[in-house]
Structure 1
Amino acid sequence: MLDSFATRDTLTVNGSQYQIASLTKLGQRFDLKTLPFSLKILLENLLRHEDGVNVTSKEIEAIAKWDAKAEPDTEIAFMPARVVLQDFTGVPCVVDLAAMRDAVVKLGGDAKQINPLAPAELVIDHSVQVDVYGSESALEKNVEIEFHRNQERYAFLRWGQKAFDNFKVVPPRTGIVHQVNLEHLARVVFTAEKDGKAWAYPDTVFGTDSHTTMINGIGVLGWGVGGIEAEAAMLGQPSSMLIPQVVGFKLTGKLSEGVTATDLVLTVTQMLRKLGVVGKFVEFFGSGLKHLALADRATIGNMAPEYGATCGIFPIDQEALNYLHLSGRSDDQIKLVEAYAKAQGLWHDENAAEPRFTTTLELNLADVKPSLAGPKRPQDRVLLEGVQKSFHDAVGPLTANRRPRSDDTSAFIAEGGSSAIGNPANDITDAGVRVEKDGESFKLGDGAVVIAAITSCTNTSNPSVMLGAGLVAKKAAAKGLKAQPWVKTSIGPGSKVVTDYLEKTGLLKELEKVGFFIVGYGCTTCIGNSGPLPPEISKGIAEGDLAVASVLSGNRNFEGRVHPEVKMNYLASPPLVVAYALAGTLDVDLSKDPLGTGSDGKPVYLKDIWPTNQEISDIVGSALNPEMFEKSYSDVFKGDTRWNHIASPDGDVYQWDDSTYIKNPPYFEGMSKEPGTIDDVHGARVLGLFGDSITTDHISPAGSIKKDSPAGRFLISKGVEPKDFNSYGSRRGNDDVMVRGTFANIRIKNLMLDGVEGGYTLYVPSGEQMAIYDAAMKYKADKTPLVVIAGKEYGTGSSRDWAAKGTLLLGVKAVIAESFERIHRSNLVGMGVLPLQFEDGQNAQSLGLTGKETFDVTGLNGGESKTAKVTATGPDGKKKEFTVKVLLLTPKERQFFRHGGILQYVLRQLAGKKAA
């Protein structure tokens, strides 16, 4: 490696010597004092990887002289230290690697060439579903079902663990990937041997889940990428990116009484979404940092995808060291982190000059108020006192076309129960439906909270809100309250440490008293693994066409994500999840209305059961210790008896069979030794015309598979019974299922059809309405290329590579949108689908596009042109021409695209052919 700026130096810690790329030495030539923390990490990465080809002195100098106000225009090659995966996205990654081993052999290479060069760790956390709840046996029963459903996937991962070097698997029933990453996998400062010398450098990470940014809370630069980009990184390929703009977020003051970290992160999300930070780094600084525990910082970092940033990072300081100690890291590692951070100017000094930023926001923590977000976007923050109105505003349109029902207004009255809840007599929450369940009779109506879930890495990583929820439950139980009988309650701890401290404090039993039992260690409800509602509740919802709700401590509440029968979803802190389970409805103002009636016959208000900040602080201080973490992670990769008894094949090349879970994908079929060209598109038809905020959940749902959908019919044809369908997320290793599930979300609306919801389109040649997959196959048979047209924020949400893979396999050549989410645009490029952006102020509506036209995209100039001309020819022969931006943003992306995608590019390189 080159060292143009003579930055090589030695750092001695604990008697050991480490080579470093010294930012201090570079600082003798450039003024780095006010360079943002995150850019210093990028700068070190370039110094260490300078080779004159992928990284040159020009890129190093560009960061060293960074202009905070300039538009990004300098491409750099970033190489993360490691890759972390979860199983929904990790299984297709390993499938692709296995397929690449087959393909590289066919191209004349060696299967062993396909092997992770960067450490890759996969945590199985997305497979457990809340099938059983409300009892002490829920955990064991759900785990048993999980292993039965996922036997084939788990056997495949066990093969991968044996076949690939540098690849480890954290088995099921351990925790959520981002919490395991924070509590155990993160090094903060990485060490490795290179050319016979020990090196120390910042821990940086790519993750195949967008919430990888949670690790930013401890000063580790990392973000979510698509599976294909992660695979490239695992195979030693640097990631191409533009030097970003950096937004500074100054925090002052401290949180007020009764305010949680969840309230804070929802406020931050709303502020940053309003500002607009897509493609930018966000960096937190200011005097308020000293009042934020590491878990609070991780909560804020976690939701970077929700506020749209690439990352939301905090600097390394004493609080980070305290957390490393608490979580059981070795003294030697902690000393290395401190010494390295101070030597490199990466240590937070509150007395130093503030970094220079592209722009700055400021928030006094004392101004944060109790909040939720909903009913369908995480940035739509609602103050606690405004939730009832928010529900009314949302439920009106949802029930506007409902068939008439009786004028009985006794919805939500629990007969024979201890409380009467809500304000049922209003013009929205009408009749309701009588439900009999477990010997109780009650009316179910609009706004009923049918799911209350303490779930997701965002909050289960944070002891203050988890123990706060336990204290709320304890006080509620003492007053005789419990969750309403129509509420499906659950706790999905992010790690076993959470269970340990809840048990140690006695608060797990208190949560159980009000209905909250542990259901599994995984993401559960937050990713749509909420499981079925009780049949009586489902029947009532269907009978009344009810607009019911969920309240969850997650980070995503997009339409159709949490549960197909639940139309409104609100994000909330764990203590508020408990509170809404007790109330059982959104049609109540918890800031002033009672939760219910206590055993003494008196109304119980939220203020009566809400713990003080001091109570929470005291119990957090007494509950956690390093031994808990050391015990939980002492043998984290081993797994339990169930895991170790799963039979798995051996060998360097996977022996594919007729599995409906694992299949050799078709991406490399007929692949030549030389790359292709980027050609104009002619005669394309529109597969779908969509509006704003089409998420990756809309494009490639992770949840349940309907038996009458193309994917459901396919599985039935393979002998799979509907009860064994599992979910789309669990079947991401099988392209036959996933291509049929593309655009199959039950809530997606194709504007080519009038008011129709679900994965349907208009097959223009015949004028028929049919499933999107069926139409795509008819177009493919006719050799007709396809385009998708959409509005703003296309592809927001999870870093879901199948949203791009499925789009490709349907035959889509280009997506034309008003704007794209960062990761999804990158994924489209990585799969060989062309992202095109309307000119500012233009969209399908302003141009009068109906989706019935044929489209030509010309002037691509082999991908080198920054704009292209689109000609839309209507059924009457009239033409509309408009210009679009070609979003192949860097030379590397154009190179990938010529090869047909990142994986094809890597394969050709590894097979010994010159990459064009």
Structure 2
Amino acid sequence: MPSQDSLNTLRTLDVAGKPYHYFSLPEAAKTLGDLQKLPMSLKVLLENLLRWEDGTTVTRKDLDALAAWLQERRSDREIQYRPARVLMQDFTGVPAVVDLAAMRAAVAKAGADPQKINPLSPVDLVIDHSVMVDKYGDASAFGQNVDIEMHRNGERYAFLRWGQNAFDNFSVVPPGTGICHQVNLEYLGKTVWTKEEDGRTYAFPDTLVGTDSHTTMINGLGVLGWGVGGIEAEAAMLGQPVSMLIPEVVGFKLTGKLKEGITATDLVLTVTQMLRKKGVVGKFVEFYGDGLAELPLADRATIGNMAPEYGATCGFFPVDDVTLQYLRLSGRSEHTVQLVEAYCKAQGLWRLPGQEPAFSATLELDMGTVESSLAGPKRPQDRVPLPKVAQAFNDFIGLQLKPTSKDEGRLESEGGGGVAVGNAAQAGEAEYSYAGQTYRLRNGAVVIAAITSCTNTSNPSVMMAAGLLAKNAVEKGLQRQPWVKTSLAPGSKVVTEYFKAAGLTPYLDQLGFDLVGYGCTTCIGNSGPLDAPIEQAIQQADLTVASVLSGNRNFEGRVHPLVKTNWLASPPLVVAYALAGNVNIDISSEPLGQGSDGQPVYLRDIWPSQKTIADAVAKVQTEMFHKEYAQVFEGDAQWQAIEVPQAATYEWQHDSTYIQHPPFFEDIAGPLPAIENVRGAYALALLGDSVTTDHISPAGNIKADSPAGRYLREKGVEPRDFNSYGSRRGNHEVMMRGTFANIRIRNEMLDGEEGGTTIHVPSGDKLPIYDAAMRYQQAGTPLVVIAGQEYGTGSSRDWAAKGTNLLGVKAVIAESFERIHRSNLVGMGVLPLQFLSEQNRKTLGLTGRETFDITGLEGRELQPRMHLTLGITRTNGQREEVEVLCRIDTLNEVEYFKAGGILHYVLRQLIAA
């Protein structure tokens, strides 16, 4: 280890006769002062600084600043943090590997050794975002979806196999294995990491960054990790530290335990709502309190998973006996478990009863008060108690439920099964025919019910609850409604094993929840098509229909372009809504349907007891983990049959529509670009609040008449083979055409009209955003994007920044930014600027037709968070100047921006070395 160890903290720990060297926090406390009250998550950061102290990137002042955090419980100190490893999924991982390949090509072009470009930290890439629910509802669905996935993604997978062979410290978990966060929780994560160096074995906390925002799921295992953009992750694996301010830490105290019939999903939706209300963006959240003893590790992981939804950098849980139990259950070696216990106790990282660290702020929840809930219709923090879902849906579509007689509003489909739609006279509806039957589809119809996502499929209690509810429903004679597209996509093969052991698979299959794949599927937007008659009925009657999924994201346009309301729910409630067929019914009090005995069946009649669920969970055995992870990196015969060239640099295929050589590093051997003021810029878009990376970054389906669709058709690709934007993230030509192209984005230059269009101001033409940007580029005109609050919330998508850069946007001017996206903009050389005080696009009366100047950049030394001047010239010639805050937040980011971006900075250093 390179540490100067100025505090003389290096010590040795003996675990079962094996010595481990470590940097002792108790020894550091002898100099820095009492650290017992320091939050556990900050202790992990302090250990990281002790281990990497070099007098340059980490100094004694950094150590003092972390210890001094206890005085103010906040800090303005910037530190350089080095995680132990990097986790990637394939949507964000492919462009990262494309960048690495392009960097190798640039190094070779500059006459240097391309092998200089190599991950210095271990990198695991799990292919989990590519499988789509094309087939569902029968036993052949899984095999068919796998075949389709391999056909669609052959070029990408060949490229990843090349990377697996070409790069050191780079492993790929093949498709059909599981979701990266569940694989991380069940197999990759160790809680305490080790490294051999100079004949010694060092032990230190397991830490990571990941190219998916839900990397925070591993926080449940006592592992500090969070999502970053692919840009930051590439820099981290190339040896660059993560530059960050010592964060505020919000303590969340948990007491009591969940009531009968309440699930971990209900708990996490409650926690999410509370923390969003509190305001924790950019902060650590750390859970504490004696209630943790009542919280299984899978429940902790569920809460940690949704940290992006409550806005925190992470949702950290300390290590205790529950952690050790899970490590043993999931097949970690006994020596690993002993090391975790010994190390955490030696370092003061072990949770003790009654322990209350010092926090910047605190919240408290008695888990006994949690009630059954969903979140929707379009934000994960909008929790709705189960009895109020129908009202929330009606509020969304502008209808109000009116008192009716017992049977009014309930219309029977010819295929059997009731659908409650409130007041039928007010409800939109359409008839459709399928398989010889005619059905009525109503507003509120559940057209997608998906047990999916890392959030819940890693949790045996809620998964077993879903299987048991399915069993009880089948035994009562219930069936899913025929318009509901059902799917089961577990996060790992272990889930399939324990469903089988509990005897629940046949019942899920009978209700249409057949296995469709091991991947994110519906939660990431890979829900696949609805049956054609249903899509036609929705479009013809402009119906507002619903999806219910056990996921973490329900933003507009994410799940399916025709599904306007999307509801997050526990897996058993997903099954229940598949039976009811409509969200416009109070399933807590109204029948789900009619049983085989002709009597109404209520949710309470089929909901499994806690004891029944616990008995089923007891069937989860360590041998299942050993079996499924024994050959985790090998893949099936189709994966192994992929042929790849053995070469240090990638052989780019010019006719590929999946993998293309990006233009980011073309002038890397030249001098540093000069930082210039921005003059005469036009607005590419004028956007409102809560614009997410789902709105900015290309995601979901590619429309045939979109700029990306036109490009693919020009390349000879038929619409049926378009695949998704996510699968084509390795091709900048597709991705830049899909930036800001979301069907639900609202550009205020067009009076809030939905869709990725804008006004080309000089001509007044209404154009797709890509086409307008290209017109501006041809004229040499710079661009800006103007937005409201919370710009860039959502997944950590690097293409939201890369696409913005390639469209010619020089600056994004917003009221506030999401942490990861702000950093990614800087990493791609785009200025993030923030309105000051009460100013915003509305108070300034901006229409998007103005021209903009950004001055204060030339002739001054760029500093973190400096003020710049935004000049606004109205269409009548009137000019106004206001100050804006430059959100380049740290000195490291200043250097990255000067170099043209973070990867440019790294690459220039490597070429010069």
Distance apart, 1:747 and its partner CA: 0.6
Out of 408, 420, 424, the position equivalent to 1:422 is 420
Counterpart of 1:406? none
Corresponding residue of 2:231: 228
Distance 2:318 2:147 in 1: 42
Unaligned runs of 5+ in 2: 402-406
Amino acid aligned to 2:224: L
Other-structure match for 1:710 = 707
Confirm or deny that 1:357 pairs with 2:353: no
Cα separation, 2, equivalents of 1:897 and 1:173: 39
Match of 1:522 among 496, 508, 519: 519
| Distance apart, 1:673 and its partner CA | 4.2
Query: Equivalent residue for 1:605?
Result: 602
Output the amino acid matched with 2:465. Answer: G
Asked if residue 671 in structure 1 is aligned to residue 668 in structure 2, the reply is yes
Counterparts in 2 of 1:139-150, with a 5 A limit?
Answer: 139-150=142-153
Contact 2:253 2:289 survives alignment (8 Å)? yes
- Once the two structures are superposed, the pairs formed by residues 97-496 of structure 1 within 5 Å of their partners are 97-352=100-355, 354-396=356-398, 413-426=411-424, 428-430=426-428, 432-496=429-493
Q: 2:404 maps to which residue?
A: none
Residue by residue, what CA displacement relative to the aligned partner does 1:583-630 show, whole Å, maximum 9, x if unpaired?
Answer: 000110111111111111111111111111111112111x11110000
1:403 corresponds in structure 2 to none
Contact 1:496 1:632 in 2 (8 A): yes
Letter in 2 for 1:258: G
C-alpha deviation, 1:428, in angstroms: 3.9
Give how far 1:12 is off: 1.2
Q: Look up the SS of the partner of 1:752 in the other structure.
A: helix
**Shift of the alpha carbon at 1:515?**
1.6
Cα distance change of structure 1 residues 149 and 304 upon mapping to structure 2, 3 Å threshold = same
Tell me the secondary structure at the aligned position of residue 257 of structure 1: coil
Give, in whole Å, the separation in 2 of the partners of 1:496 and 1:413: 40
**Deviation of the 1:277 alpha carbon:** 0.4
Map 1:777-788; keep pairs closer than 5 Å.
777-788=774-785
Distance 1:412 1:867, change over 3 A: farther
Q: Which amino acid in structure 2 is aligned with residue 879 of structure 1?
A: R
Q: CA deviation at 1:674?
A: 3.7
Please tell me whether residue 54 in structure 1 is matched to residue 57 in structure 2.
Answer: yes
Name the structure 1 match of 2:37: 34
Report the counterpart of residue 903 of structure 1 in structure 2.
903
Q: Does 1:625 align with 2:627?
A: no
Judge which range, 417-426 or 485-494, deviates more: 417-426
Q: What is the number of equivalent residue pairs in this alignment?
A: 901
Deviation at 1:412, TM superposition (A): 7.0
8 Å contact 2:421–2:582 — kept in the other structure? Answer: no
Range 714-723 or range 5-14, more displaced: 5-14
Q: Residue 224 and residue 413 in structure 1: after superposition, are their counterparts in 2 closer, same or farther (change >3 A)?
A: same
Distance in 1, Cα, partners of 2:179 & 2:490: 8
- Please tell me whether the aligned partners of residues 398 and 547 of structure 1 are also in contact (alpha carbons under 8 angstroms): no
The one-character-per-residue Cα deviations of 1:852-872 (angstroms, maximum 9, x if unpaired) are: 000001123343261111111
- Give 1:414 shift: 4.1
Match of 2:69, SS state, is: coil
> For structure 1, which segment, 801-810 or 585-594, has the greater mean C-alpha deviation from structure 2 after superposition?
585-594
Alpha-carbon offset, residue 69 of structure 1: 3.9
| Separation (CA, whole Å) in 2 of partners of 1:529 and 1:319 | 34
The 3-state SS of whatever aligns with 2:912 is coil
Contact 1:789/1:844 (<8 A) preserved: yes
Residue 542 (structure 1) shift: 0.9
Q: How does 1:860-875 map to 2 (within 5 A)?
A: 860=857, 861-864=860-863, 866-875=866-875
SS at match of 1:704: coil
CA distance in 1, matches of 2:256, 2:704: 54
Q: 1:560-571, aligned counterparts within 5 Å?
A: 560-571=557-568
Match of 1:879 in 2: 879
CA contact (8 A) 1:395 1:428 kept: no
CA contact (8 A) 2:394 2:400 kept: no
Q: Is the 8 A contact 1:69 1:245 kept in 2?
A: no
AA at the equivalent of 1:868: L
Q: Deviations over 1:717-743 (max 9, x none)?
A: 000000000000000000000000000
- Matched to 1:566, the amino acid is V
1:722-761 maps to which residues of 2 (within 5 A)? 722-761=719-758
Q: SS at 2:187's partner residue?
A: helix
The residue identity in structure 1 corresponding to 2:66 is I
**5 Å matches for 1:824-863?**
824-860=821-857, 861-863=860-862
- Distance of 2:368 and 2:783 partners within structure 1: 52
Counterpart secondary structure, 2:763 = coil
Shift of 1:275: 0.5
* Alignment partners' CA distance in 1, 2:756 and 2:399: 21
Q: Is 1:410–1:443's contact at 8 Å kept on the other side of the alignment?
A: no
Deviation of the 1:413 alpha carbon: 3.4
Three-state SS of the structure 2 residue aligned to 1:28 is helix
1:81 match: 84
> Partners of 1:248 and 1:742 in 2: how far apart?
37
Give the direction of change, closer, same or farther, for the CA distance of 1:494–1:858 in structure 2 (3 Å limit).
same
The CA distance in 2 between the partners of 1:852 and 1:393, in whole Å, is 35
Question: Deviation per CA, 1:787-819, whole angstroms, max 9, x where unpaired?
Answer: 000001100000000000000000000000011
Structure 1 gap segments, 5+ residues each: 400-408
CA distance in 1 between partners of 2:643 and 2:604 (Å):
54
Q: Deviations over 1:451-474 (max 9, x none)?
A: 000000000000000000011111
| 8 Å CA contact retained: 1:396, 1:428 | no
State the Cα distance separating 1:178 from its structure 2 match: 0.1
Aligned AA (2:152): R
Looking at structure 1, the residues matched to 160 and 223 of structure 2 have their Cα atoms a distance apart, in angstroms, of 27
Query: 2:433 and 2:361 mapped to 1: Cα distance?
Result: 57
Does the 8 Å contact 2:216/2:227 carry over to 1?
yes
Tell me: CA distance 1:410–1:160, structure 2 relative to 1, closer, same or farther (3 Å).
farther
RMSD of aligned residue pairs (Cα, Å): 1.4
- Tell me, yes or no, if the aligned pair for 1:77 and 1:239 is still in contact at 8 Å: yes
Q: 2:845 matched to 1:821?
A: no
Amino acid at match of 1:772: I
Q: Secondary structure at the match of 1:635?
A: coil
Letter in 2 for 1:856: D
- Which residue of structure 2 aligns with residue 643 of structure 1? 639
Q: Does the 8 Å contact 1:678/1:862 carry over to 2?
A: no
Distance 1:68 1:771, change over 3 A: farther
Q: Name the structure 2 match of 1:402.
A: none
1:85–1:120 Cα contact (<8 Å) kept: yes
- Tell me, in whole angstroms, the C-alpha distance in 1 between the residues paired with 2:293 and 2:10: 34
1:107 to partner: Cα distance = 2.9
Residues 209-239 of structure 1, C-alpha deviations (whole Å, 9 max, x = no match): 0000000001000000000100011111111
SS in 1 for 2:746: coil
Question: What does the per-residue CA deviation read over 1:563-585, in whole Å, with 9 as the maximum and x for residues that have no partner?
Answer: 00100000000000000010000
Give the C-alpha shift of residue 193 in structure 1.
Answer: 1.4
How does the TM-score come out when normalised to structure 2?
0.97
> Whole-Å Cα distance in 1 between the matches of residues 413 and 22 of structure 2?
70
Instruction: State the Cα deviation string for residues 875-912 of structure 1 (Å, max 9, x = none).
Output: 11011221111101110000000000010000011112
Question: Are 2:2 and 1:3 equivalent residues in the alignment?
Answer: no
- For residues 661-696 of structure 1, the C-alpha deviation after alignment (integer angstroms, 9 at most, x for no partner) is 001100011224443333221111100000011100
Opposite residue 358 of structure 2, the aligned amino acid is R
Q: Could you tell me how far 1:437 is from its partner in structure 2?
A: 1.1
| SS at 1:182 equivalent | helix
